[in-house]
Structure 1
Amino acid sequence: MREPGGRTIGKFEHPAVTAKGERRAAVALKRLETLWFNTGTLCNITCANCYIESSPKNDALAYLTLADVRASLDEIRRDGLPVTLVGLTGGEPFMNPQIIAILEAVLEAGHETLVLTNAMRPMMRHRAALLRLRQAHGSRLRIRVSLDDYRAAVHDAERGPGAFSKAMDGLRFLAGHGFRLELAGRRLAADAEAGSREGYRRTLAAEGIVLDWDDPVSLVVFPEMRADADPPEITEACWGILHKSPDEVMCASARMVVRRKGAAGPSVLACTLIAYDPAFELGATLKEAARPVTLNHRFCATFCVLGGAACGAAAPA
């Protein structure tokens, strides 16, 4: 498709139409059920294919403060928003110096709380505080550990030598102390999901760690995400073709709060996956961010619509 001035519009570029001139799909916020806080993009490791480019040097998303989080919690309470799950992601959340205070604030506000971690040294430094939180709040605290593969060599190729062993130390600590434990795995393009689930079951069972391996919340198996992927664009017609509803896509029920480096305050994004594209920044408050989201990013196609993945599926209490 060409703009009036003659320039060709590329894939995922125009918010309303695709490169072929078809009407692009959009997703309305049906109910704000999941609110994510990105606690900062700094991480203790550098992964080969991190979708958000977290590393020990990337502070493009600065550390959220306790005050930032409380402001959103106050908005939820004041406006009666139907949030049932609060998620904390990064970077590595346990590198945020206020992470325990943030977790306490969210849990004390009565929300089921999901924290994503690589379960390595930053988390293990907070073992005593985590035990205290588990004692006080029980199963409302969910900890989801990222394990890129059930094979140590494949995981370490992504996350660095020795990463698998350190993650297993963290997993054993969490399982051994009765935390509500979940696992976030990855399915390579050449692998079948059933085979991946069996591989995780076999590897973790050998360590005495038992989950409901068929449950998509206890073990979330994400599709492989590659920055060089070239998926088809999602048009309005795709919902019927794929037999899917826009209500199934994450941005129909979720938003994410971030603090950009140097910004005066937090902002609300459409998605946990798309942190740097200004088109997906929706406002400074949850109320402002309640507008529809157009699916003009390749992650919308590969991860959500075609991949069928969701970051924060609620689990039964």
Structure 2
Amino acid sequence: MKDQANLGKFADPHVTADGDTRAHVPLSRPETLWFNTGTLCNIECENCYILSSPTNDALVYLRSDEMRPYLDELEERDWKVREIGFTGGEPFMNPDMIDMARMALERGYEVLILTNAMLPMMRPHVKAGLLELHKDFGDKLTLRISLDHWSEENHDAVRGVGGFKRTLEGMYWLRDNGLRMTVAGRTIWEESEAESRAAYGRLFAEHGFAIDAMHPGETVLFPEMDESVEVPEITTACWDILGKAPEDVMCASSRMVVKRKGAASPAVIACTLLPYEPEFEMGRTLEEAEAPVQLNHPHCAKFCVLGGASCSA
């Protein structure tokens, strides 16, 4: 979807509205293969980029037997990926989540699971599964907890009343059992990054969480993903102007597997942030997904090139 603010832009995958050559990004350093476990979630957050909710099943549950061929292909294509990431929706709503994590860990990959650490993660059989994974693989498993803000008031404004306390309860359980945690927050409030990180640091210290608030991989702060804000298109000349390179952008290092409702098989998409945009679907296989990605969306400019964001650990 292209918003009115960007009318006329992002129409041609190869040429900008001004007639310049649009920038593209080759898959130059594959590091993370993401699996979207499904868009169903136990809560519905304000401005969720993927519109996860208790009723949105546009992306259905991915199953273990659908994931396995992609792990095989990673080895066949020699991608040298270090990390398998799982996102949703809420991944722990997927009944195969523990099995899929084990499958990836057994092949030697690090595993990153994005979770709100609420009820789906706290079910007895999920906790038992996580404890077994931790016993067998230790810190090869990381859970990134969605803690939108360091304050209860602002976090709950996004995720609903009581969300902050329920997420902290999940984090206490992870802390007490020695599982590795990181945090993902948002920068939609009027405070500087330094102020935000300092406040997260105080929160982590208060609760005994072994998370470095100053480390961008342990406390990841995401900008607001608002398509109504006008952004520039990224041309090939922008790399030198901005002092950046194509390999700095997220799609140089990652792809994501999704299963669309009604589809016969999963598909590979270019970007974790654009699961519904058909032009970013690359095919059914990793081989097809090795093609370059045209930076033909507002998120490509604001979130990745100008914002420098990354979903990886």
The TM-score normalised by the length of structure 1 is 0.94
What do residues 217-253 of structure 1 show as CA deviations (whole Å, max 9, x unaligned)? 1111111222322211111111111101110001011
Map 1:276-315; keep pairs closer than 5 Å: 276-313=276-313
2:233 is the counterpart of 1:228: no
TM superposition shift of 1:189 = 5.6
> Are residues 1:144 and 2:147 paired?
no
Which residue, 63, 71, 80 being the options, matches 1:65? Answer: 63
Query: 1:252 maps to which residue?
Result: 252
Note if contact 1:40-1:92 (Cα within 8 Å) is conserved in structure 2: yes
Q: 1:181-200 maps to which residues of 2 (within 5 A)?
A: 181-188=181-188, 190-200=190-200
Deviations 1:161-194 (A, max 9, x none): 1111100101111112111111111112632111
Alignment match of 2:72 (pick from 51, 71, 74): 74
Counterpart residue number, 2:26: 28
Whichever residue aligns with residue 275 of structure 1, its letter is P
Of all paired residues, the percent bearing the same amino acid is 54
Distance 1:161 1:253 in 2: 37
Question: Which of 79, 98, 101 in structure 1 is aligned with 2:99?
Answer: 101
2:8 is aligned to 10
CA distance in 1, matches of 2:108, 2:229: 40
Q: Which residue of 2 aligns with 1:6?
A: none
Residue-by-residue CA offset, 1:99-138 (whole Å, 9 max, x unaligned):
1111111111111000000100001111111111100110
More moved, 144-153 vs 187-196: 187-196
Question: 2: distance between equivalents of 1:249 and 1:182?
Answer: 22
Contact preservation (8 Å) 1:256, 1:269: yes
Match of 1:308, SS? coil
RMSD across aligned C-alpha pairs, in angstroms? 1.3
Aligned to 1:3: none
What is the total number of aligned residue pairs between the two structures?
A: 306
Any conservation in 2 of the 1:35–1:254 contact (CA below 8 Å)?
A: yes
Partner of 1:112: 110
What CA distance in whole angstroms lies between the structure 1 residues aligned with 2:305 and 2:217? 18
Deviation at 1:203, TM superposition (A): 1.8
Distance 1:80 1:294 in 2: 23
Structure 1 residue 210: deviation in Å?
Answer: 3.1
Separation of aligned partners in 1, 2:54 and 2:10? 30
Range moving further from structure 2, 294-303 or 74-83 = 74-83
In structure 2, which of residues 27, 40, 43 is the aligned counterpart of residue 42 of structure 1? 40
Give the AA of the match of 1:196.
S
For 2:193 and 2:224, locate their aligned partners in 1 and report how far apart those are by CA, in whole Å. 11
The one-letter code matched in structure 2 to 1:49 is: N
TM-score with structure 2 length normalisation?
Answer: 0.95
Q: Cα 1:190–1:18, aligned 2, differ >3 Å: closer, same or farther?
A: farther
